[in-house]
């Protein structure tokens, strides 16, 4: 097993990884920008290295600084967390070539599954259903219109390199297509440095259901059930839960085996997630793969009792998976609310000083956060300040528990999304599980 791991991230996920390392007897190295000198991940790691100024491109995304930090501290492996360098194949390659272990999949898998158009082709090859769409990337406007017409409107134009809910354009009718297509290419180039886009049928009221995978170096791949992430705003997840109300044991097995087939096809190792869209008839379609640990991984941990971050570290060290498919058992219900520091009405970030911070506690509560009283939320990074995770015997109890916990959660000095979460939890459709990715539109438009 590794003796020392460097964590190339910040905030709650850096802390989450440090906690896993401590419980495994592994020493930790935190890296941080000058804006994060007073962060909890710096405080709780065994060592820390300042890697640059606040801007991510000069610090958390600056590969030479991170590699140097690992070298001077004798770290044997690097955990990238999510975001930043987690899905950067060349970073994974540099880690491995400098003799450090990248805790994640191989650079080849990241490349193959990180390009959404290529990932789609891989899913097709593995026999997994996909939505009607273009055969890979489309560059030319006239042929793009042809393809869109053939698929049938509405369609969605997606950046091959997209992520984080960015780089997608929905086109409801043909008249809007040409313009949207060019805009999507321009936006993709500006945001991801890559103008490649592809086209897919747009589902009007889908559910977002994803399967958690874990794979070791020996080729064992196991699925750990699903997460439902349909409560989204601007294609970004707000609430996630496990299991999904629409997925029964038979469907879980079927989707799980589909996800495993994709992973086996690319000789995948470490943690990964296969995202599907599901229509009202419970037909599911591959959407994309995330080749890293995800923000919402705790809900799967709660219902399976498996520590995914520890497992990531174990398999990166060459150990076999510590469980088999037969040993995975989904028990109870878990739900996660992402609490962002932002104006709940205008959705704009709300950086500043947290003047009072009281996280909830009691039975079945897990709070993942790097915030504390007097913590100053930097303006440079994303606005998520806490993940509130609950666990209960069933979904109704989980909702009651979440409501109780949201009411206990005191965060003063900055605006947060807590009021929005309370509203969602009180919504009869949410409570009955009648949800889709369109759920949040009712809050943007009171007529709905």
Residue 21 tokens read as 């390392």
The DSSP-derived string for 98-140 is TTPEESSS-HHHHHHHHSHHHHHHHHHHTT--B-SB-SS-B--
Compose the 127-146 pattern: x for residues touching ligand ADP by CB under 6 A, - for all others. Answer: ----x---------------
Nearer to ligand ADP, 277 or 420 (CB): 277
Note whether 207 binds ligand ADP by CB under 6 A: no
Which residue of 91, 102, 202, 409 would you call a contact of ligand ADP, by CB under 6 A? 202
Q: Distance of alpha carbon 257 from its chain centroid, rounded?
A: 21
Compose the 402-441 pattern: x for residues touching ligand ADP by CB under 6 A, - for all others. Answer: -----------------------------------x----
Rounded Cα–Cα distance for residues 149 and 8 (Å): 45
- Minimum distance, C-beta of residue 285 to ligand ADP, in the bound complex (Å): 8
Residue 273 tokens read as 């997630």
- Minimum distance, C-beta of residue 11 to ligand ADP, in the bound complex (Å): 19
Residues 6+ apart with CB under 8 A from 54: 33, 34, 35, 378, 380
Rounded Cα–Cα distance for residues 172 and 151 (Å): 12
Q: Give the CB-nearest residue to ligand ADP.
A: 437
Marked catalytic residue, from 120, 169, 233, 292: 292
Task: Say whether 292 is catalytic.
Answer: yes
- Geometric angle at alpha carbon 409, from 295 and 44, rounded to 5°: 55
Task: Tell which residue, 7, 189, 15, 28, has the closest CA to residue 84.
Answer: 7
Note whether 200 binds ligand ADP by CB under 6 A: yes
Give exposure, 272-291, as e/b (b: 16+ Cβ within 10 Å): bbbbbbbeeeeebbbbbbbb
**Segment interacting with ligand ADP (CB under 6 A) among 37-45, 157-165, 249-257, 393-401:** 157-165
**Segment interacting with ligand ADP (CB under 6 A) among 51-59, 161-169, 253-261, 351-359:** 161-169
Which residue of 28, 33, 88, 232 would you call a contact of ligand ADP, by CB under 6 A? 232
Which residue of 16, 41, 208, 415 would you call a contact of ligand ADP, by CB under 6 A? 208
Task: Tell which residue, 35, 154, 64, has the closest CA to residue 8.
Answer: 64
Q: Are 337 and 388 in contact (CB under 8 A)?
A: yes
Nearer to ligand ADP, 36 or 115 (CB): 115
| Residue entry with tokens 């929005």 | 420
Q: Which of residues 285-344 bind ligand ADP (CB under 6 A)?
A: 287-288
Judged by DSSP in three states, 169 sits in: strand
Nearer to ligand ADP, 156 or 406 (CB): 156
Note whether 203 binds ligand ADP by CB under 6 A: yes
- Minimum distance, C-beta of residue 133 to ligand ADP, in the bound complex (Å): 8
Count of residues of this chain found to bind ligand ADP when the rule CB under 6 A is applied = 21
Q: Which residues are catalytic?
A: 292
Binding site for ligand ADP (CB under 6 A): 131, 156, 162-166, 168, 200-203, 206, 208, 232, 235, 275, 277, 287-288, 437
């Amino acid at each position: 097993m590794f003796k020392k791991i460097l964590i190339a991230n910040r905030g709650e996920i850096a802390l989450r990884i440090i906690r896993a390392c401590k419980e495994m007897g592994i020493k930790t190295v935190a890296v941080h920008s000058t804006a994060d000198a007073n962060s909890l991940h710096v405080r709780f790691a065994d060592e820390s290295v300042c890697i640059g100024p606040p801007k991510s491109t000069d610090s958390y995304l600056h590969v030479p600084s991170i590699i140097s930090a690992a070298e001077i501290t004798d770290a044997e492996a690097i955990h990238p967390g999510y975001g930043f360098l987690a899905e950067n194949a060349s970073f994974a390659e540099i880690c491995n070539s400098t003799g450090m272990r990248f805790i994640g999949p191989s650079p080849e898998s990241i490349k193959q599954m990180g390009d959404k158009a290529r990932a789609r082709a891989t899913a097709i090859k593995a026999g997994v259903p996909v939505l009607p769409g273009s055969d890979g990337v489309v560059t030319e406007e006239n042929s793009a219109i042809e393809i869109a017409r053939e698929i049938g409107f509405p369609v969605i134009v997606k950046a091959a390199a997209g992520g984080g809910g960015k780089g997608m354009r929905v086109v409801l009718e043909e008249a809007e297509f040409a313009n949207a297509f060019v805009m999507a290419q321009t936006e993709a180039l500006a945001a991801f440095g890559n103008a490649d886009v592809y086209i897919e049928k747009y589902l009007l009221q889908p559910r977002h259901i994803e399967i958690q995978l874990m794979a070791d170096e020996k080729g064992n791949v196991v699925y750990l059930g699903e997460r439902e992430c349909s409560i989204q705003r601007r294609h970004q997840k707000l609430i996630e839960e496990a299991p999904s109300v629409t997925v029964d044991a038979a469907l879980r097995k079927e989707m799980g085996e589909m996800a495993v087939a994709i992973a086996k096809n690319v000789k995948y190792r470490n943690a990964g997630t296969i995202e599907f869209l599901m229509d009202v008839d419970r037909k599911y379609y591959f959407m994309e793969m995330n080749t890293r640990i995800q923000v919402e991984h705790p809900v799967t941990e709660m219902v399976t009792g498996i520590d995914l971050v520890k497992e990531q570290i174990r398999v990166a060290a060459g150990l076999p998976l510590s469980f088999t498919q037969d040993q995975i058992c989904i028990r109870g219900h878990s739900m996660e609310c992402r609490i962002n520091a932002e104006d709940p009405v205008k959705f704009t970030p709300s950086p500043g000083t947290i003047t009072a911070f009281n996280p909830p506690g009691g039975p079945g509560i897990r709070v993942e956060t790097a915030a504390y009283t007097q913590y100053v939320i930097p303006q440079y990074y994303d606005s998520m300040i806490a993940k509130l995770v609950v666990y209960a015997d069933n979904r109704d109890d989980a909702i009651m528990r979440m409501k109780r916990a949201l009411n206990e959660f005191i965060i003063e000095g900055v605006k947060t999304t807590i009021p929005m979460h309370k509203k969602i939890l009180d919504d009869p459709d949410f409570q009955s599980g009648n949800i889709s990715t369109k759920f949040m539109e009712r809050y943007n438009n009171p007529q709905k």
